[in-house]
Each structure stands twice: as structure tokens, then as C-alpha cells.
Chains A and B, each alone.
Chain A
């Protein structure tokens, strides 16, 4: 802690002694953060296995997959996947990835671990609430897993669960899979609401002396805005989920209109609207996209500055852009519903607002490039992943310019073009943000580095791999190949258009890329126990407070001495300074005067 110029002494809480209160039901934000990350690692491998099954089924529909027949005798008799099994894999892949991976790790995981230390707090504002958030999330994960194994199997209505398909068993296979799905989502909403509240209060109340809002690291800004989005969005999904559960089980009709006839049977319900669900769902669903990607944007800004040895280009504008993306994120949900039968006039308004959100996104992109420009770039593995993030963000963002216009969406809606778009921007880009964050903070978290060589191999295979998977999906969209088709041979124009070859290419690319993730898994486990020991508290020569505490940080982070902050988060390469970085807790005296004395 010899980087700290001055500190404020606070009361210390004793470290809990028992194994359970230390590692299982822990109140320590660092342990909870690691728990979230580990949950996401488990979920991401399940989600990825599902995506592999999806790809296999599309290209070799008759092929038996070993073990699958034993696990799912109904969905995949003798290991051959049925079309309904394909749809349930697709639903569960989307749900698993969006909720259990993209929403947990960036915010609950890295946010939880890093945010309190970066703002100079000894824990989150409400440690018990924090613990409750994680364990509720864990319950939600268990409920989601239940859906696989109940009678009728996992739901087939997609991660968006549009009624009437999701509301009426008569329209699908009777079973409780969809109910378990809703219960899981509802629990998840509760957990996220608690977490969001905690993040907001912590950021507003527990900042160290001198750490003004405009001195916050951009990571903290993104976690803070993400928390606000979560607080406003998850409540709506929770309500929608409860209504859908009532429609399914108690005979209400929130989403079911009168006069439905399924299999010659008149459905005795009336008064609901399927479009209501879509409004509620996307009122949550669009902010959710930013909940997934904003922390990745923060991590990218942070890492680009650190390894370029330059201040973030246009810090203030970056903050405004984060806030603008967060604000506008709430008024663009209608662009998911251009073809839903919603009023075409409001579609146009949503479209204008959607294009407006492209502006702060463009600002961020160019400011990232501006941060690199004129730097002295160190290509460590976190830096590679961050540069990859920028590229993926550009590519995935620009396809959004097509889909955000109702005119062009007339052609692309519900085709593979959409699949390519959202996987690049909210899937892969966000995951690159997580890889960047993990390799960056790993030495601080565990006192050991991740293996640099393995991380680089992992980066290259993944970066080229994801482009090989999702790039060609844009071309499938041109044909135009509809989404969520269990078989690709039924439609004439697809058979003629060469879609089979593209699908084949994508599946091979996916098999290679998914296999490459085993390198990551091996690296993660190996580095935990055998990685190169990080003996330096600030191995990356970074500026923010987490690098001023011991490695790994003690129970209450600062051992009761909260450092005073003197400067903004990215004082790299200050002219006339002694070193090419000035930590936030360094006084001017330390930065300049000692330089003169040397």
C-alpha cells in the first residue's frame, strides 16, 4: 500500500472463520463475485454444448449423438434429435446464455469483485442482500435445469416465449417445462433487482474521499448504469412472467384472445393480447441487451487505456455516451416488433430512436480507436480480447443499422441476418469483454497469472472462429433463410440458394471454435493452481485502486485504511511525471516532485 499518499481509517469487521461462512454463504463481495463467475462458466459450457447440438442437428439431422439417447429418451430417441428437441435446445441455449451467462458474469461477477475495490469501499453497501442475490440466481439456474428433465421436456417457444405458443399446452407438447422456465426467469428477476439496488447504492454512497463521479473508472460507470437498467427492466419482466404463469395454470387470459382454435378445439379464453407480452418482454429485453454489453464496453475502455499507456480518449464524452445508451435503451424496444402487427406509425418513431442509439455507439467506437492512436500498445492477452471486442462491436453494431429500419426489416426480420447480428453484438462481443476482464483481473483475484501463451492461442482460435461462424450467417439472411427452422431442406429457395454449404461451413467452424474453448477451461483450472505467481500488486502498471491493494486482496480490501483519491482514472503518460502512469491514490507530490528528486 506504499502507493497510497493519504488514507481514512475506518472500523474493521473480523474475518469469518468457518469454511461455510467464508466460501459458501459468504458476505464478502469478492467471494460472491467469484461464485457468479464460476456459475457463468458452468452455464456457458452448458449453453455451448446446446449450440453444438443445434449445429449438428441442422447439418446431420439423421445422425445419432452418443449419450444423448440415454439423457433424453423422448427428445432424442437413440440419440437422433427430433425437430421439437431442436426447438427446445434452441430455447434453452438462448435462455441459458442471455440470463445465466451474459447477465451474471459481467455484472454480478466482475462488477461484484472489482467495483467496491475500485471505488475504495470495503464491501458492497448491503452484503447480505448481495449474498441473497447470488443464491437466488443459483436457485433460478437450478429451476432452469429442471426444465430439461420434467415431463414434456424443455420449452420450445424460444427465449422470447411468445404467447399463445408459450401460454397454451394445446399448441405444443403438454408438460411443465415452460412453467419451470417461467419460475426460473422470475427468480432471476428478483435476484437481479436485489443486485441492481446494491450496485446503485454502493456506487453513490461508498466512494472514497476525493473520488468524484467524473473520476470514476469507466468500468464503474458501466456497472452503475447497467444496475439502473436492471432496476427498471427486471421488474417488468417479473410481472410479465407472473401473468404468463397465471395464463398457463389458473385459466386467466392476459395474453390469450378469444376464438382460438387449436386442433379443431375451441380454446375457452377471451380478452387477452399476445402483443401485450411482446411489449412487456421487449421493454425488458432491449435494456437487457445493454445490461449484457455495457460492462464489456467499460472493461474494453479500461483495458485499452491501460495497455496503450494513454488516457481514455474523451473520457467525459464516453460517460455521456454510456448514459445516453442507457437512457435511449429504454425507448427502442419496439424495433423488435416492427413485423408484429404493432402500429406502423409507432414503428417509425421507434426506428428514429433506434438510429439515435447508433450515435453514442459510434462515439464509443471512434473514441476507442482514438485511445489506441498514438499509444505504446502492449499486446497482453486482455488487450487482444479488447481489440477483438472493438472489431466485433463494429461488425455487430452495423448490422443493427439494417434491422433498425422497418423498411429493411421487412426483408431481414426473423432471418439468420438477425441471428448473426445479435450473436456478434450481445453474445460474442460481451463474452470477449469477459475474457478480457478475466485475464486482466485474474492475477489480482487469485494471485496467479493465467497462462499467457494459452490465452493467446485461445484468443486467436476464438476471434477467427466466431467470425467464421457468424459472418456467413449474414449471407444466409440474404437468401433469406428463416430463423428457428429445425430442418433446412424443406424450403425451395433455400435448397436452390446454396444454404446447405453455408450451414456445413458454419457447423465445422462452430465445432472447431467450441473445441478451442476447452483450452480456456484448461487454462482457467491450471492457472488457479499452477499459474505463474503474481508477486507484484500492480503487474499491469495500471492506475485504479484495485491495483493499490495487496494481491489477492485481504478480507476487507483496504485493511481498514481507505485511500484518498487525487486524480481521474486514466492518468497515463502524464508529461513530466516520474512514471508513465499515476495511480488514483498518488498525490501530485508523488507523481511529480519525486521525479525532480530522482
Chain B
């Protein structure tokens, strides 16, 4: 941080002295300074992490952060180089130059250089990020369905709340019937309580999961598009009517994290939110028992 500020002050000093040393028109000078200062001002908060992402709570999220950091480095270098060059050109090649403008129609070597550099950097980046994307959406799961190391939670969006369903002690989600849906009777999903699988299903407005276990989330919606997003998980997916979205994550930090809807869903979009509570296994089991007791 100190280094950056020192660098910035040094840059400003140089810039202030420059026009007196070299004969440069005011417009050229101001524009070059503006371009460089904008470049520095935009970069500092990213380097200093003044406003930054919340800490990740899964290995996958850390993988995403790695890709993010790599992208910051690559784009940062291009950003600074391009602005340095632009500012320099503006400063150096004013109309007061004694020699005439160069007659060049291009330079194959330079053009080949930046074309291949851009190709390698940009396309290379995507492939570097392949693993993290695969793990988010289509990689083999570490656990089998039904294994004790995996918890399945169903998250259903509706204007403007989240409904979280657990399968209950039997580990099976009961069938849903749209005709049974009744918000006022406390059955927002239409769970058939007469069905043996559905009898013990737990439906709550807040999501709890055990720490260090693979969690599978089934994402659904009753009405319009919503988006399930927990910043600490670096995971995000639209809930689409008619489609079951699936996300998996394995949190390794106990705590409370916020779920804020991230796809415009109507008037109350800005207040559609819930919480994800990551708990110790024992606390989680206790919590499940408490929630089940409300069913009686």
C-alpha cells in the first residue's frame, strides 16, 4: 500500500515537472496526465483490495478466486500498458514536433506480436479456468447419492421468498402437487402430507447445512426466474421454471452467509433474501430435530 502511494506521488511529481522541462502543449499534457491518473486511480483499490470479495468457504471458491487473481494480473498488465502507451503517444507526438509525421502504414512484426500475445493470453485464460467451471457445474461428485456424506437440499424460489426443503428422516423427498399449494396454510410448495415420503419433509425459509459435508442443492422456482447466489460459495445459478438446477458445494467454515436473489424477479426483487447457516454436524442434527417438531 505504502509502495503504491509512493509510486503515485512520484508519478504526479514527474508529471507536474514535465511540461516545464519539455516544450509540450497544455492539451497534450493534460490529456496524458488524465489518462495516466485515471489508470492509476482505477487500479489502486483493486491492488489494495479496498472493496473486496468476502472470504471463500469452499475449496471450489478458492479455485475461482485463483482464476480471478490470474485474470486481474493479465488484464491489469494489458490495461496499464495500453494506457501508458496511449498517454505517452499523446504527450510525445504533438503538433509542435519539428519533424513531419512518420509515413508508416503498419508494422507486420508488431501487429503479429500483439495479435499472438492477445490470443495466447485471452484464450489461455479460459482453459486455465476450465477445472473450476467443471467443478461448479458438471464434474463427477465426490460422493454417491444417498451416501451419508452427502446432504440434499431443495431450494425453491418464489416472489419474493426462498423455500428450503429437507427430505426428513427417511431421506426421501415426497411428491409435490401444485393443487395443494397454499401459502396461507403454510404449504408453499404443495407437499403431499398424506404421502409417506412427504409426511416428514421439512420446509423452512432459512437454509442450514452441516460443515465439511458435500451438499447438493436442487434449484427450482414456482413462478418467474430467480437466482441463487451465495457470494462466499462463488456459486450462482438461475432458478428456471420447468428445470431442476443442480449445484454442489462442501463448506469448510461454520458461519452465517446471505442468499440474495440475483435475477430480476419483480417488484420485491431487492428484498428477496435468506440465509445459509453452516453448522457443526451435531448442531445441524439438533436443528433438524427442532424443525421436524413443528410438523406435529
Contacts and interface: CB of A to CB of B under 8 A. Distances in A.
Interface of A: 83-84, 87, 156-158, 162, 164-165, 168, 171-173, 257-264, 266, 273-275, 308-317, 339-341, 344-345, 347-348, 351-352, 355-356, 358-359, 362-363, 365-367, 369-370, 372-379, 384, 387, 390-391, 394-395, 398-399, 401-402, 404-408, 410-411, 413-415, 456, 460, 463-464, 467, 471, 474-476, 478-480, 482-487, 490-493, 497-498, 502, 572-575, 580
Contacts of B269: 87, 484-486
A493 to B, nearest CB: 6
Nearest to B32: A387
A467 B42 CA distance: 9
A379 B126 contact: no
Interface of B: 25, 27-28, 30-31, 34-35, 38, 41-42, 45-46, 50-54, 63-64, 67-68, 71, 74-75, 78-79, 82-83, 85-86, 89-90, 93-95, 97, 100-107, 110-111, 114-115, 118-119, 122-123, 125-127, 129-130, 132-134, 136-138, 158-159, 178-179, 181-184, 190, 222-225, 227, 229, 231, 234-238, 240-243, 245, 258, 260-271, 273
Contact of A485 (B103, B110, B270): B270
B216 to A, nearest CB: 16
Contacts of B181: 261, 264, 266
Contacts of B45: 475
A370 B222 contact: no
A445 B18 CA distance: 40
Contacts of B118: 358-359, 362-363
A160 to B, nearest CB: 8
A171 B266 contact: yes
Rank and list the top 10 A-B pairs by shortest CB-CB distance, nearest first: A257-B242, A374-B102, A344-B137, A314-B106, A407-B129, A362-B118, A485-B270, A372-B89, A475-B51, A309-B101
A369 B236 contact: no
B71 A158 contact: no
A487 B126 contact: no
5 contacts: A341-B237, A365-B82, A482-B260, A483-B264, A485-B270
B268 A408 contact: no
Contacts of B53: 411, 478-480
Contacts of A359: 115, 118-119, 122-123
Given A372-B93, A401-B74, A467-B42, A261 B223 contact: yes
A491 B190 CA distance: 29
Contacts of B110: 366, 370
Contacts of A370: 106-107, 110-111
A260 B157 CA distance: 12
B129 A486 contact: no
Contact of A491 (B34, B260, B266): B260
Contact of A407 (B46, B64, B122, B245): B64
Nearest to B67: A407
B38 A375 contact: no
A475 B45 CA distance: 8
**By CB atoms of chain B within 10 A, which of A83, A358, A363, A366 has the most?**
A366
A351 B236 CA distance: 17
Nearest to A82: B267
A403 to B, nearest CB: 10
A404 B245 CA distance: 21
A352 B133 CA distance: 13
Contacts of A162: 224-225, 263-264
A262 B158 CA distance: 8
A344 B225 contact: no
B24 to A, nearest CB: 11
B222 A492 contact: no
A362 B241 CA distance: 40
B123 A311 contact: no
B240 A340 contact: yes
B123 A339 contact: no
A519 B182 CA distance: 58
Contact of B231 (A340, A348, A398, A411): A411
B29 to A, nearest CB: 10
Contact of A374 (B35, B104, B129): B104
B159 A394 contact: no
A262 B41 CA distance: 47
Contacts of B25: 379
A493 B115 CA distance: 41
B82 A408 contact: no
A171 B159 contact: yes
A316 B107 CA distance: 11
B67 A275 contact: no
Contacts of A414: 227, 229, 236, 262-263
B79 A398 contact: yes
B233 to A, nearest CB: 9
Contacts of B235: 410
A538 B19 CA distance: 32
A358 B223 contact: no
B197 to A, nearest CB: 19
A263 B30 CA distance: 59
Contact of B106 (A156, A313, A365, A460): A313
A251 B172 CA distance: 37
A312 B44 CA distance: 34
Nearest to B136: A410
B94 to A, nearest CB: 6
A84 B119 CA distance: 44
A83 B268 contact: yes
A441 B182 CA distance: 64
Given A310-B101, A311-B103, A377-B95, A407 B267 contact: no
Given A262-B222, A374-B104, 11 more contacts: A164-B241, A172-B267, A363-B114, A367-B111, A373-B89, A377-B93, A405-B126, A411-B234, A482-B260, A482-B261, A485-B269
